[in-house]
Chain A
Amino acid sequence: MDSEWRRLHPATILSVALRRIPQTIVGLVFVFGGGFQDGAWELVQLAFGVVALAPPAIVYFTGRYRLTDEQVEWRSGLLSTRRYGLPRERIQSVESSIDLVGRAFGLETLTISSAGGDGEIEIGLIDRRTAHELRAELSPTTIAAPPPGGRTEQPQPGIEAPVRPGSRRTIATLSRADLPRVIGVRATELVAALVLGLAVAAGAVIAWSQFGREALWAIIGFPVPVLVWGVTALASAIVTISFKSALYPDRIRTSKGIVGKVTTDVPLARVQGLQIKQTLMARRMGIEEISADNADASGLGALAGVLVHPLAPVGSWQQLATEVFGVELTVPAELQPIAPPSRRRRWIRAAAASVLVAGMVFVLGAAGLDAGLTQTAVVVPALAIWFSATACFGAIAELSFRNSAWAVNEQLAIFRRGPLTTTKTVLYRERVQAVEVTSTWFQRRLGLASIVIDSASPSTVARGVDLWATDTDQLALDVLFTASDSGGV
């Protein structure tokens, strides 16, 4: 790849305009819509319209990118120009996305991320051949990444070689046949949507019976939460159905989307840890969801990591971890529970929350009576709300205690938490950045403390709440004094 500045495809204008649809509509209305008759005001209106419509054209006409031996460079801007260089050795992931315009013209957008929140370059639209060349060029084989501990001792065959078609291992390929399992795994969300919908419907019926037509808003509002949750569940299911992921010698590549398509490359040398999620149903079905996390902290998506396998068999993360970290891992046989006094603390918190809800319900009920509602219409829902809230708090307290567990050995720190959906964070100890131990007065009375073992990833943060203080003390020592000199990112 040469180091000449290159332009984007002209279809970029259309793509950016569609992404900025509200601004585009406002701009078009200002420019072409009827408006002020006064000449000066008409000019102002036109100026506003041009300003609203200009950004897509500015991106196309001023946006240039190039690849040098050291870095990826991007420059753009008309009045305020931005020039950004991202050193190759700082690249955390390369994501390729295809929107509707890209699909029509055979184009892609590449998003190259570095560690941190703002370190991101978006190049697009560009043709797929160029995108493919860029992806290959930005392969970790050309990145001077700090080698993880064992990798220097056990060089992986082919790790220095470019990606070869024969060297990939498919991790997951989902199709329509997986739909029942996908729906099953996400049953918790669907049930939550149903419960929420029923609660809103009950509220709407009560409001209707009390206020008649004045409560029409309640009837109109009833389907909205159901619709939102339904669309969310359906969208996640659709995305999951078209999901593909593969492991290359130097990276994990994932691809998802039916209408728009997003391909993400995560260099193995940048993976900080794995997250393994299990919903209630997934536990029954023997399935877990595996995500890999790097140090990219840009956008909300970074908090969830990169989904690697939505329907992995339980325990398959261990093989993946071995392949990703490039060392033979010894996984702790079982996780140990947190300190038993934590259960008491959680139940006390649940009781406090219940009292708070009781107070709120009492105030709202009094307001309802003042507004003319009958006693039945106030007391029954109030008791129902308080009772269900208290039951939820209690269940969350008990389940979160039972599901919290941890294990740390020479290579991994594993922490599991969550009441219904459990998340197991697997942090490779080579990647540890810092350790924090905290203990409130209440915890100290019971001999407890909490620990956070931090990596550069926003999602791979190993958190243990209410461990025995002697354990956190020992853990902190172990983790801190065995940190390697690899830098960890």
Chain B
Amino acid sequence: MRWDYVGFVRPGNEWNRLAPAALRAKRIRGAIGVGVALVVVLAALGGILLVDAIPPALSAVPLLLGAAAVGIWLWWTAKTFRAVGWLVDANTVQLTYGVWRQVWQGVARDRIQFVEVGADPIQRALGLSTVTVRTAGFRTPAVTIVDLETNVAEGLRVELNPAQVAAPELPPLDANDPFDAQPGAEPATGG
């Protein structure tokens, strides 16, 4: 039996994929770590080769190894980028990711406790955000979609917010409450 993916694509539903900017963000983030590691490895290898006075023909080995590592890394990041898919339908939020270990996560929408949207500096520069859909689950407390376009992320936040399901009546704004006060408005006085 051949089984190529974890999870499923039901007829009529296709996985949503991340925007190309997400791949750039992934590579920038990874480059910081990989760059440091490469410098250390190349310096070590180069040092050894120089110290031992290896023939000049072999001195290109570190460079070749470095180039190979970078190539593999670029290929791997593209593969992991393509593996991410997310889906929001009337009943569920689903996420799939992973290349070696493929993971599929699903949450029924009425189990959502709250939705978070956040962005680190790299994401902000590229117009991306991370959406975290939280449940009360202990082992799977959240489904986290990393590097979504910010407008898509905000749309998901609004769409998946439990308030949209329960449609509660919000209390009127309180001018004395710092969370409700409008910028520039004078706080109400008196008791």
Residues on A facing B (Cβ under 8 Å): 115, 295, 297, 432-441, 444, 447, 449, 452, 454-458, 461, 469-470, 473, 476-477, 480-481, 483-489
B151 at the interface (CB under 8 A from A): no
Q: Knowing A434-B111, A434-B143, say if A297 contacts B138 (CB, 8 Å).
A: yes
B126 at the interface (CB under 8 A from A): no
In the bound complex, what is the Cα–Cα distance between A437 and B103 (angstroms)?
6
- Decide if B111 touches A295 in the complex (CB within 8 Å): no
Contacts of A437 in B (CB 8 A): 6-7, 103-105
The distance from the CB of A91 to the nearest CB of chain B, in whole angstroms, is 15
B102 at the interface (CB under 8 A from A): yes
The distance from the CB of A118 to the nearest CB of chain B, in whole angstroms, is 14
Contacts of B1 in A (CB 8 A): 447, 469-470
In the bound complex, what is the Cα–Cα distance between A481 and B3 (angstroms)?
22
Q: Knowing A295-B136, A438-B101, A455-B137, say if A473 contacts B107 (CB, 8 Å).
A: no
- Decide if B110 touches A436 in the complex (CB within 8 Å): no
Q: Can you show 28 pairs from A to B with CB atoms below 8 A apart?
A: A433-B140, A434-B106, A434-B137, A436-B106, A436-B139, A436-B140, A438-B6, A438-B104, A439-B101, A440-B100, A441-B101, A444-B3, A444-B4, A449-B3, A449-B6, A452-B140, A454-B138, A456-B136, A458-B138, A469-B6, A470-B1, A473-B8, A476-B104, A481-B92, A484-B110, A487-B110, A487-B136, A489-B136
Sorted nearest first, the 4 A-B pairs with minimum C-beta distance are A433-B137, A483-B108, A447-B1, A454-B137
Q: Which of B102, B110, B137 has the most CB of A within 10 A?
A: B137
The distance from the CB of B133 to the nearest CB of chain A, in whole angstroms, is 9
Which of B91, B92, B111 is the one whose CB lies under 8 Å from A433? B111
B144 at the interface (CB under 8 A from A): no
Which of A440, A452, A476 is the one whose CB lies under 8 Å from B139? A452
The distance from the CB of A345 to the nearest CB of chain B, in whole angstroms, is 14
The distance from the CB of B186 to the nearest CB of chain A, in whole angstroms, is 30
Total A-B pairs in contact (CB under 8 Å)? 109
- Decide if B137 touches A456 in the complex (CB within 8 Å): yes
In the bound complex, what is the Cα–Cα distance between A438 and B136 (angstroms)?
20
- Decide if A115 touches B105 in the complex (CB within 8 Å): no
Contacts of A444 in B (CB 8 A): 3-4, 102
The distance from the CB of A211 to the nearest CB of chain B, in whole angstroms, is 42
In the bound complex, what is the Cα–Cα distance between A138 and B137 (angstroms)?
25
B135 at the interface (CB under 8 A from A): yes
The distance from the CB of B6 to the nearest CB of chain A, in whole angstroms, is 5
Contacts of A470 in B (CB 8 A): 1, 3
In the bound complex, what is the Cα–Cα distance between A115 and B135 (angstroms)?
12
Contacts of A115 in B (CB 8 A): 136
The distance from the CB of B143 to the nearest CB of chain A, in whole angstroms, is 7
- Decide if A434 touches B102 in the complex (CB within 8 Å): no
Q: Knowing A439-B6, A447-B3, A476-B106, say if A434 contacts B140 (CB, 8 Å).
A: yes
Which of B6, B98, B102, B108 is the one whose CB lies under 8 Å from A480? B108
Contacts of A488 in B (CB 8 A): 111, 136
The distance from the CB of B76 to the nearest CB of chain A, in whole angstroms, is 14
Residue of B nearest to A457 (CB): B138
Contacts of A484 in B (CB 8 A): 110
The distance from the CB of A462 to the nearest CB of chain B, in whole angstroms, is 10
The distance from the CB of B112 to the nearest CB of chain A, in whole angstroms, is 10
In the bound complex, what is the Cα–Cα distance between A115 and B12 (angstroms)?
38
- Decide if A456 touches B138 in the complex (CB within 8 Å): yes
